[in-house]
């Protein structure tokens, strides 16, 4: 299953659970580990995106009720992202969809080969 198929599966599950207003561009913001408690500038750096594009997406998600940007209690010049209940529910739906894909991969590859795949992907990510 290619990344496009994984992303499509996430979108299907999101629509099924009442999150039809999220589009593909929003998925990057919710990418593991998610934006909760992050500064927008740190989120942009982690995603390899411009601060402007991340702030635009955060504004969209804020308008849709998925998150809020709040003053940072440690640095009053900064803000931090806080997921709303709706945002937390969307993240849980995304995570469940990913687990479904992983179970399918494990079924197709077998437990041992799937464990090897996961180990190799972790290694490449380091």
SS (H, E, C) the chain: CCHHHHHHHHHHHHHHCCCCCCCHHHHCCCCCCCCCCCCHHHHHHHHCCCHHHHHHHHHHHHHCCCEEEEEECCEEEEEEEEECHHHHHHHHHHHHHHHHHHHHHHHHHCHHHHHHHHHHHHHHHC
pTM of the predicted protein model: 0.87
CA separation (Å) from 66 to 32, 121, 123? 16, 30, 32
Do residues 67 and 35 touch, judged by C-beta distance below 8 A? Answer: yes
- Under CATH, what is the fold of the domain 3-125? Arc Repressor Mutant, subunit A (1.10.10)
Q: How confident is the model at residue 92 (pLDDT cuts 50, 70, 90)?
A: very high
Residue 100 token pair: 């479904």
Q: How confident is the model at residue 1 (pLDDT cuts 50, 70, 90)?
A: low
Residue 57 has pLDDT above 90, yes or no: yes
Residue 15 has pLDDT above 80, yes or no: yes
């Amino acid at each position: 299953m290619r990344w496009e198929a994984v992303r499509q599966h996430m979108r299907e599950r999101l629509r099924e659970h009442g999150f039809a207003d999220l589009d593909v561009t929003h998925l990057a913001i919710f990418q593991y580990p998610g934006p909760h408690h992050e500064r927008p500038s740190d989120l942009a750096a982690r995603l390899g995106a411009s601060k402007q594009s991340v702030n635009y997406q955060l504004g969209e998600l804020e308008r849709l009720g998925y998150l809020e940007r709040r003053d940072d209690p440690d640095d009053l010049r900064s803000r931090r992202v806080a997921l709303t209940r709706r945002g937390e529910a969307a993240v849980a739906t995304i995570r469940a969809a990913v687990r479904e894909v992983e179970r399918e991969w494990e079924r197709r590859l077998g437990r041992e080969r799937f464990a090897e795949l996961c180990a190799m992907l972790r290694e490449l990510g380091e």
